[in-house]
């Protein structure tokens, strides 16, 4: 047989396939001229081959033992097993579980907020109660302070008119009322001072400390220490009810000792206090003597 005239079709029909088994054909064709061997190169290499005016890729037409072209029936897996019938139900169950967990977390967060608010309210009420208790504990006996100018009682109005005559006051020392246009300078006085000037100083937020002559030297020293502060007056007064008295506009406290802690609390509460008609007005630049003749 003359192998020079063997066609592609005849070779595929007599020689085993795939091309890896065509080594015998290569041997037979090795003696052909170079020009004719070139015609067989694509076929032997497994590349595209032209037949009948059309190009054919033998590599793509050959079956691959490692790949299966068999279609997997619906409902089966590649390994041949049946796909689970309740897959959709399982997904729905997982989604429902996630949603349930999220709602539970939301409820826990809301509960934590309410618990936190409750704790805050308890703390607030506790602090308010403790403040009231502490105030009552640290201000013992402050209920002894007498109030003379109740804001809701017009009949208790002390009056604030300026007059250039002597004024008769209901209290001794006076706690407010009409007074001289010139205030008394703040400071320590060894003699009684004119009430109508001192009342004007009370209107400016001054605390007026007065004492009877029978107080001890220690009490007098304590009063002098208190009166060394700003907006303070100190003077003797024999006709007052208590040995020592502290007076602010509309407020008054009587004690027996100059070291009584209520005096300091009285000063903290009422010097330039909320009851002061003219807080911040001057306590100097007035007068230190009586300007009313006679």
What is residue 112's predicted lDDT score, i.e. its pLDDT? 74
Distance CA 24, CA 20 (A): 10
Distance CA 24, CA 9 (A): 16
Distance CA 206, CA 230 (A): 8
What is residue 282's predicted lDDT score, i.e. its pLDDT? 95
Burial of 61-95, coded b for 16+ CB within 10 Å and e otherwise, reads eeeeeeeeeeeeeeeeeeeeeeeeeeeeeeeeeee
What is residue 157's predicted lDDT score, i.e. its pLDDT? 72
- The alpha helices in 158-216, defined as continuous H runs, are 195-203
Instruction: Please confirm whether the linkage preceding 18 is cis (ω < 30° from 0).
Output: yes
Contact (CB, 8 A) for 103 and 111: no
CATH of 147-270, one of 3.40.1130, 2.60.120, 3.20.20, 3.40.30: 3.40.30
Task: Spell out the domain ranges in the chain.
Answer: 3-61, 147-270
Output the CA–CA distances (angstroms, integers) from residue 213 to 137, 192, 219, 228, in the order listed.
32, 11, 11, 20
Instruction: Please confirm whether the linkage preceding 173 is cis (ω < 30° from 0).
Output: yes
Task: From first to last of the 294 residues of the chain, give the pLDDT tens digit.
Answer: 444 444 444 444 444 555 554 455 445 445 555 555 555 555 555 555 555 566 655 555 555 555 555 565 555 555 555 555 567 788 788 878 888 887 777 777 777 787 778 888 888 877 776 655 555 445 556 889 999 875 555 445 788 999 999 999 999 999 999 999 999 999 999 999 999 999 999 999 999 999 999 999 999 999 999 999 999 999 999 999 999 999 999 999 999 999 999 999 999 999 999 999 999 999 999 999 999 975
Q: Can you read off the two tokens belonging to residue 53?
A: 């005016």
Residue 186, classed as helix, strand or coil, is coil
Distance CA 207, CA 212 (A): 17
What is residue 82's predicted lDDT score, i.e. its pLDDT? 54
216 pairs with which residues across the strands?
A: none
């Amino acid at each position: 047989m003359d192998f020079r005239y063997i066609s592609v079709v005849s070779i595929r029909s007599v020689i085993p396939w795939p091309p890896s088994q065509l080594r015998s054909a290569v041997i037979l064709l090795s003696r052909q001229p170079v020009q004719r061997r070139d015609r067989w190169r694509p076929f032997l290499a497994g590349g595209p081959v032209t037949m009948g005016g059309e190009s054919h890729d033998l590599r793509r037409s050959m079956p691959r033992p490692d790949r299966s072209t068999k279609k997997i029936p619906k409902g089966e897996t590649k390994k041949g097993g049946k796909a689970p019938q309740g897959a959709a139900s399982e997904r729905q169950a997982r989604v429902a579980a996630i949603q349930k967990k999220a709602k539970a977390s939301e409820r826990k967060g809301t509960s934590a907020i309410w618990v936190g608010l409750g704790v805050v309210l308890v703390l607030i009420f506790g602090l308010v109660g403790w403040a009231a208790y502490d105030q009552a504990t640290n201000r013992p006996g402050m209920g002894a302070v007498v109030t003379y100018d109740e804001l809701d009682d017009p009949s208790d109005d002390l009056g604030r008119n300026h007059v250039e005559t002597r004024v008769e006051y209901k209290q001794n020392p006076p706690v407010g009322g009409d007074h001289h246009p010139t205030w008394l300078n703040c400071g320590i006085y060894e003699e009684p001072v004119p009430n109508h000037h001192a009342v004007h100083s009370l209107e400016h937020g001054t605390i007026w400390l007065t004492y009877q002559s029978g107080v001890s030297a220690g009490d007098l020293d304590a009063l002098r220490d208190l009166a060394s502060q700003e907006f303070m007056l100190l003077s003797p007064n024999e006709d007052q009810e208590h040995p020592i008295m502290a007076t602010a506009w509309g407020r008054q406290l009587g004690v027996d000792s100059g070291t009584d802690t209520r005096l300091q609390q009285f000063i903290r509460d009422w010097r330039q206090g909320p009851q002061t008609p003219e807080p911040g007005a001057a306590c100097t630049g007035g007068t230190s003597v009586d300007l009313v003749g006679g």
